[in-house]
Amino acid sequence: MLGHGFMGGAHSRALAALRWLEDDPAATPRLVSICGRDRTSVERARRRWGWESVELDWQRQATDDRVTLFDNAGPNALHLGPTLAAIAAGKHVLCEKPLGRTAREARTLRDAARDAGIVHMCGFNLRFLPAVRLARELVDAGAVGEPTHFRARFLASSALSPDQRRTWRFHRRGAGSGAVADLGSHIVDLARYLAGEPVAVSAVAKTFVATRDDRPVDVDDAFAAVVEFGNGAVGTLEASRAAGRRAGECAFDLDGTLGSLSFDVERLNALDLIQASKERRRIEVTAPEHPFMQLWWPAPGHPIGWGDSFVHELRHLLSAIATPSAVAPHGADFEDGYRAALVCDAILEAAHTRRRVEVAPS
Amino acid sequence: MLGHGFMGGAHSRALAALRWLEDDPAATPRLVSICGRDRTSVERARRRWGWESVELDWQRQATDDRVTLFDNAGPNALHLGPTLAAIAAGKHVLCEKPLGRTAREARTLRDAARDAGIVHMCGFNLRFLPAVRLARELVDAGAVGEPTHFRARFLASSALSPDQRRTWRFHRRGAGSGAVADLGSHIVDLARYLAGEPVAVSAVAKTFVATRDDRPVDVDDAFAAVVEFGNGAVGTLEASRAAGRRAGECAFDLDGTLGSLSFDVERLNALDLIQASKERRRIEVTAPEHPFMQLWWPAPGHPIGWGDSFVHELRHLLSAIATPSAVAPHGADFEDGYRAALVCDAILEAAHTRRRVEVAPS
Amino acid sequence: MLGHGFMGGAHSRALAALRWLEDDPAATPRLVSICGRDRTSVERARRRWGWESVELDWQRQATDDRVTLFDNAGPNALHLGPTLAAIAAGKHVLCEKPLGRTAREARTLRDAARDAGIVHMCGFNLRFLPAVRLARELVDAGAVGEPTHFRARFLASSALSPDQRRTWRFHRRGAGSGAVADLGSHIVDLARYLAGEPVAVSAVAKTFVATRDDRPVDVDDAFAAVVEFGNGAVGTLEASRAAGRRAGECAFDLDGTLGSLSFDVERLNALDLIQASKERRRIEVTAPEHPFMQLWWPAPGHPIGWGDSFVHELRHLLSAIATPSAVAPHGADFEDGYRAALVCDAILEAAHTRRRVEVAPS
Amino acid sequence: MLGHGFMGGAHSRALAALRWLEDDPAATPRLVSICGRDRTSVERARRRWGWESVELDWQRQATDDRVTLFDNAGPNALHLGPTLAAIAAGKHVLCEKPLGRTAREARTLRDAARDAGIVHMCGFNLRFLPAVRLARELVDAGAVGEPTHFRARFLASSALSPDQRRTWRFHRRGAGSGAVADLGSHIVDLARYLAGEPVAVSAVAKTFVATRDDRPVDVDDAFAAVVEFGNGAVGTLEASRAAGRRAGECAFDLDGTLGSLSFDVERLNALDLIQASKERRRIEVTAPEHPFMQLWWPAPGHPIGWGDSFVHELRHLLSAIATPSAVAPHGADFEDGYRAALVCDAILEAAHTRRRVEVAPS
C-alpha cells in the first residue's frame, strides 16, 4: 500500500477485517509493505496497522515480487505514476478516487489497466454502503421505472476558514480540482451507478477564499451543476467545502416513472423507497434477508458505520481477483474512474466557459 | 374574489379566519362577491365560503364600488386582465403566483400597481409559514453570515401519468410555463427572500409526456437550474411534476460563512439551524416567545398546517392596507412577483437556448 | 358555549370553519351565546369569535330555548354542573376532557346523558387527527394482529418553574388531578381507542413543586403507569408537566402479533406502520385516496395543523346529531369519557396506595 | 475467550481492531485461546478470528498460565462457573451481560472479583456508544439539572413466531429470564448510568407463547416497569421480544429540571439535547472536538456502527488493566452488573407478585 493518511488507515483496517469473513485464513491477504516519504511516520503506521515492512520508494514497492495487489491510497498527484508502474509490473491495482487529477490521467490509467489484463478498481467506497447497493438492486429490478431525475449533494465546510492551510487539496497540481475532485467525484459516480450516463452539464464553480498562506488557491471550493443523462433524465449535482457549518452531509434522490429513492449518509443504514404517493418505506438495510447483507460484517441486524464500507470494498476486490470475476457493475473499475473524471472535467469546463458542455468519452 | 378552485377556498377560509385575530369585528373584511364563469359552481362556492353575492363578469367585479380589495385567485391566464382592471379602478390587489404568464405580463402589472399607488401583493404564501419567516429573521440577524449557497426543490408527480388530462396547466397560453410557473416560482421567491438577487442561470427543462388528449404539451414538466446570486453565492433550483411518486416535497437549504439553515415542508413547524459543525438545532417555530408568532392563530405552542399560511398572508395584507405600511419585505409585492417572473423566464430561456442567461430587470 | 379560554377559541373557530364543509349554509350551526364570568372578557371573545350574545349565567344558557347543543369548554370544575343542567334541559352536549374531576362525576354525567337519550361527546380531539383515525382503521383491518403492547407519553415542562402560579390546574378542587387529568386522560383515551380496555394499573405519581403562591399543590405534576389490557396486551402510559424542556411531546406505539404502529405529534400528518422487520412505512395521511380524508379541510394533499382536529371533531358531532348516528366508535362519547376517568382514578389510586389496582367499571 | 457465537465474534473483532489505536504493537493483546464445546465450530471460529489455540474445557482455559484476561462471551448459564474459576486463578475478567442469571449469582461474582482485587467488567456495551457517553458527560456537567424522568425501551419481535425454537434463551435454567435479562438489563444499566439508582419498581411481565418444541417457556417475552429512583425521579422501562415487527429499537429519554436528552439507536451517532422549550439540538457525536471522541476509531467525523462499541469497550478495559485504573464510572464493573441484576430481579418479582418491590442491595 502507498499512503498512510486517513485512507491508508481505512484500507489497512479493512484488509485486516477481511479475515472475519473467511473460513480459510490462507485466503486472507498478507500485508507486505506500506510506503511513504517520512520514515518515522510510515514506521508508526506500519506498526499500528500491521504491515510487514516499510518502503520509502514507491517504484520499488510497485515492482516488489511479493506484491500481488498494489493499493494506492496516496494523494491525488501520486495516483498516476505509481499506479502505472504497478500495472506495468503486472500487479492488480486499487486506486483511490479520483482516478486521476484530470480525465487525461484517468484515461491513461484506464488504457494501461485494460491492456494489461489485470484487475483494477477505483475506490468509490459509497457503492459499498449496503443502502447504496440496495438502491442499485431496486433500480435493476424496475422499482422506480425509467429515471426522470437524479439529485445529489455532498456538503462540508472545511474550507470556509481563511486560516485553513494551503495543503495539496488547495492547488491544481496537487489535487486536480477542489470540491469537484474530492466530493464531487463521489456523487458523479453515484449518478452513473444509479441513474445512467451523463451526456451534458452546465455548471458554476466558486473559490470563496482566493489565497491561503499568501499563495493563490487555483481550485474550486464548491460547484453546482445541472446534468443531462443519456436516458433523458435530468438532475443536479452539488458539492462544497464552504457550506455553512455542514460537516459531510451527503445525500441523493432518484426519481423515475414508477417511484423514488432517497438516501442520506446521516441514516447510513436506511434507504427510503416511495412507490405510492404519500407513502415512504424506510428500509433498514441491516435486515439479514437481503441476500447481499449476508456477506457483510458485523452480524446482520445491527447498524454499521462508514468504515465498514471499506471492508466490503476490499472483499469485493479480493474476490474479483480470486475468482476471477468482474469488478463492475457493483464495484467501480478504472473505466468507471475514467468516466467519472470525464464528467468532473466537463463540470469544470462548463463552469470556466460558462457554457453547456457535452461529456465526450474517448 | 375572482376564482373558486383550490386557491379560492384557501383565500376564503383565511379571510373568514381573520376575525379571530381581531378584537374589533369592524376591522374584519366584508366578503362582497365571488366571481367565476359557471353560475352553479360559483353559487355553491358563495354559499359554502360565505360570500355575499355571485358575479359572472370580472370586469364588473373589478369596478364594483363596494370592493376595496380585489383578490385574484383565478388561473394564470386571468392574472393580467382582471388585476389590471382592478388597479385601474383604484382597488388594492392580491394576485396569486405567478404574477404573470411571462415577465412581460408581470412587469405590466408591477408598473400599473406602482403608478396607481395602491397596495399590491403577490401570493407567495410560503413566506408566511412561520419557519420561513424565522429563516429570514435569522439571516437578517447575521446568523448564517454571508450566503455561499442556496438550494431548493419542489417535487411532485402529478404529471407522470399520460392519462392526466391537458388542463390549462399543460399549455403555454393557459399557464405561461409548467413546473417553472407552478412550483418553480415559489422557490425562486424563497431564493430571493432568503439568499439574494439571482443574476444568472443555467438550466435544463423537460417535458416527459409530449401530448395529452391528442394535443401537444408545450410547457415543461420539470426543470433544474444552477443559479448565481449577485452577492457571490451559488445554488440550485429544481422543480418537477414528474418526480417518481413524490407528493409535494418542498425543501430548501441556505449556507453562509457562519452557518446553515434547512427547512422541509414535511416538518412545517420546524427550522434547522447549524452554527457549529456537527450540531443541528431544530427550532419548533410554534414557541410563543418568537415575537412574530404571537400574531398567528391558533394558540402558540401547537402545530399549524399549510392552510394557516393563508391566514397569515391575508392578515399581513389587510394590515398593510389599514396602517398603511409596506407589504415588503416580509410579504411579496408586485415588484417581487415581477422579479420572480424575470428569473423564471431566464430559466426557460437558458433551458431553451442551452446557454447561461443573465437576469436583466427593466 | 361555556368557556372563553384556549378551548373556547379552538371550538369557536372549528364551529365557524364547518361552513366550508357544507354546501348548505342552513346546515351550519348558529352560534347562539358564549358564557363566562367576566363580562368584558366574554364580550371580547363574543366579538372575536362571532357569537350572537353574551351570557354570564350558565344555568340560563343551559336552558336557553335557542340552544340545541351545549358546548362545555370551561374548566374542569364546571364540567359537572352545567353539563348536567343542559342534559336536564334536553340539550345535546359536548364536554371537554376530562369528563369529570373524578370517575364518580364522569359516571353521573354518563348516566344522565344515557338516560336522557341525547347525543353526547367528550372532547378527546386527538382521535380526530387523521393519523390517529388511520391507526384505528388499520387496527380494525387487522394490520397489526392481536395487540401485545401499547405505550404512550405526553410530555410538557410547564410546571417545572416554582414561579408558575397556582391556577386551577394545580389543586384537586379545580382540576381533579394534575398531569393525569390534563395530559394523561388523552393518552388513556388513545389506549382505549387503539389497544383495548385496561383492566389493571400500577403507577407512580410525583409532585415536584409542593407549594405555589404559598399554598399546597395537592395534585400530581407527573405520573408513570404500567397497564394491563383485557386482551392480554401490556403497556406503559406516562405524562408529565415537569419533563425537562419538552413542550408538548405526544407520541404512541402499538405493537401486535403482525405489526407495529407509531405516531408522534411532531409529525402530525404521518403514521408509521411496520409489517415487515426492518421496514417502516411512513404514510402521509393527507393523501386524498384515504376515504375519511375526503371530509377534511383543507384540500387533501397539504399538511394540516392541531387546530384542524377540532373542525373534524365538531363536524363529527354535528353529523351525529343531524343523521342521527352514534358518536362512537370514532368519536368519544360520555361512556368513553367515563371509562377514561375510571383508568385515571385507578392510576391515582395505584400511585397513592403503591399497589396494583384493578379498573372496575360500574 | 469463552464462547464463539455472536458475542464471541464481536469481542474477537474488537480485540484485533485495538491495534489500530496503539502505536506500540506490544501493547495490543495476544489472542491465546478460544473455548467451546464443539471442536469443529470452535476450530472454525479460531481460524476466522485469529485465536492461537482451541480449548474445549473452560476449567483449563480459566487457569491457563498464558491467560491474563478471561473474556466470557458464553451463554448466561456459563457466566457464573467459568468466571469464578478465572477469578480464582487471578485472571482479570470480562463477563457479558447479564452478569448472572439471578442477582444471587451476580453477587457471588461481584464478591469474588472484589475480594480478588482483579479488574472486572460487565459487558454493557451501550455505554461505549459515543452518544451515550456524551449523555453522561452532559449530565455530570449539569446540562439537564436534577433528573425528574427517565424512560427507555428495547423492542424486538424475535419471539412472536410460535415456530421460533426453544433455545437456551427461552428457559430459566439457561437464561435466568427472557426479555428482562437479554434486553432489559441493558436499559436498566443505562438508567443507573444516566439517571441514578432505582429504589423501587412495579411491573408486569408476559409470556405470549407458552410452549415451544412442546416444552414450557418459563421466562418472560416482555415486561413493562415503573421505576422510582433514589433521587426522586420516576420513569418507565420496557423491553420485549414480541413487539410487532420492531427489530431492535432501543431508545431512551432523560428529563431534568433544566433540560432533556434523547437517544435512539436508529441514529447511533447523534444525541438530542433540549435546554430551551421548542428547541432541540442534535449533536453529531462524531465531531472531533469532543475530547473523548479522539480515542475512538475510525477517524473522527465519520459515522460509526454498533460493532465499534465493542472496540471502545475492550480498549477501556485493557487500559484499566494496564494503567491500572478503575473501570467505573464509564465502564460497568461487576458492582454495576450486580446492581443491574438486583433491579432485574425486582422487576421479575414485582411482575410475579403484582406488588411494588423495593430494590434491596446487600
* Region B93-99 average pLDDT: 98
- Nearest CB partner across the interface for C304, out of B265, B267, B305: B305
Q: What percent of chain D has pLDDT over 90?
A: 77
- pLDDT at residue D233 above 60? yes
- pLDDT at residue D132 above 60? yes
- Nearest CB partner across the interface for C305, out of B10, B13, B308: B308
Closest-CA residue to B130 (of B323, B325, B249, B291): B291
**pTM of the entire predicted model:** 0.94
pLDDT at position D247 is 87
Task: Give D92's strand partners.
Answer: D69
D315 C-beta neighbours (distance < 10 Å), count: 20
Task: Give A239's strand partners.
Answer: A154, A223
Q: Which residue of A has its CA nearest to C273?
A: A281
d(CA A334, CA A347): 20
Longest dimension (CA), chain C: 59
- pLDDT at residue A89 above 90? yes
d(CA B335, CA B338): 5
Q: What is the pLDDT of residues A225-253, one digit of tens each?
A: 999 999 999 999 999 999 999 988 999 99
**Which residues in D lie closer than 8 A to residue C260 (C-beta atoms)?**
157, 243-246
- Nearest CB partner across the interface for A204, out of B234, B244, B276: B234
d(CA B139, CA B137): 5
- Nearest CB partner across the interface for C48, out of B6, B10, B19: B19
For chain D, which chains pass the contact test of at least 3 CB pairs under 8 Å? Answer: A, B, C
Give the CB-side neighbour count of residue D176, counting CA atoms within 13 A. 30
**CB atoms A284 and C279 under 8 Å:** yes
d(CA C173, CA C219): 9
pLDDT at position A15 is 86
- pLDDT at residue B243 above 60? yes
pLDDT at position D88 is 98
- pLDDT at residue D297 above 80? no
Choose the weakest-confidence range: A127-136, C38-47, C104-113, C303-312.
C303-312
**Which residues in A lie closer than 8 A to residue B261 (C-beta atoms)?**
244
- Which amino acid, A296? W
Question: Distance, in angstroms, between B263 CA and closest chain D CA?
Answer: 15
pLDDT at position D22 is 64
Q: What is the pLDDT of residues B137-159, one digit of tens each?
A: 999 999 999 999 999 999 999 99
Q: Which residue of B has its CA nearest to A257?
A: B244
Choose the weakest-confidence range: A43-47, A291-295, C333-337.
A291-295
Residue A63's φ and ψ, nearest 5 degrees, are -110, 5
**CB atoms B274 and A246 under 8 Å:** yes
pLDDT at position C73 is 95
pLDDT at position C352 is 97
**Which residues in C lie closer than 8 A to residue A280 (C-beta atoms)?**
281-282, 284
A-B contacts at Cβ under 8 angstroms = 166
Choose the weakest-confidence range: A353-357, B286-290, C187-191, C210-214.
B286-290
Query: D361 or A3, which is more confident?
Result: A3
**CB atoms A281 and C281 under 8 Å:** yes
pLDDT at position A296 is 46
Give, to the nearest 10 degrees, the angle between helix C103-116 and helix C334-353: 160
Choose the weakest-confidence range: C11-25, C266-280, D37-51.
C11-25
Question: Distance, in angstroms, between A235 CA and closest chain C CA?
Answer: 25
Choose the weakest-confidence range: A228-242, B276-290, C13-27, D144-158.
C13-27
d(CA D202, CA D198): 11
pLDDT at position B21 is 67
For chain C, which chains pass the contact test of at least 3 CB pairs under 8 Å? Answer: A, B, D
- pLDDT at residue D307 above 60? yes
Q: Which residue of D has its CA nearest to B303?
A: D278
Task: Give A318's strand partners.
Answer: none
**CB atoms D244 and C148 under 8 Å:** yes
- Which amino acid, D94? L
DSSP conformation class of B125: G
Q: What is the pLDDT of residues B162-172, one digit of tens each?
A: 999 999 999 99
SS3 of residue D331 by DSSP: coil
- pLDDT at residue D295 above 60? no
Choose the weakest-confidence range: A188-192, A234-238, B136-140, D17-21.
D17-21
Most confident of C15-24, D123-132, D305-314: D123-132
Most confident of A49-58, A198-207, B240-249: A198-207
Choose the weakest-confidence range: B121-135, C21-35, C279-293, D203-217.
C279-293
Which residue do the cell numbers 416535497 mark? B249
Residues A297/A16, Cβ–Cβ less than 8 Å: no
- pLDDT at residue B298 above 90? no
* Region B240-250 average pLDDT: 93
**CB atoms D284 and B279 under 8 Å:** yes
pLDDT, chain B, mean:
92
d(CA A13, CA D17): 7
Angle at C161 between CA C176 and CA D131, to 5 degrees: 110
SS3 of residue B276 by DSSP: strand
CA dist list (Å): B79 to B93, B100, B317: 11, 6, 18
CA dist list (Å): B309 to B14, B290, B297, C83, C310: 8, 17, 10, 36, 18
For chain A, which chains pass the contact test of at least 3 CB pairs under 8 Å? Answer: B, C, D
* Region A86-98 average pLDDT: 98
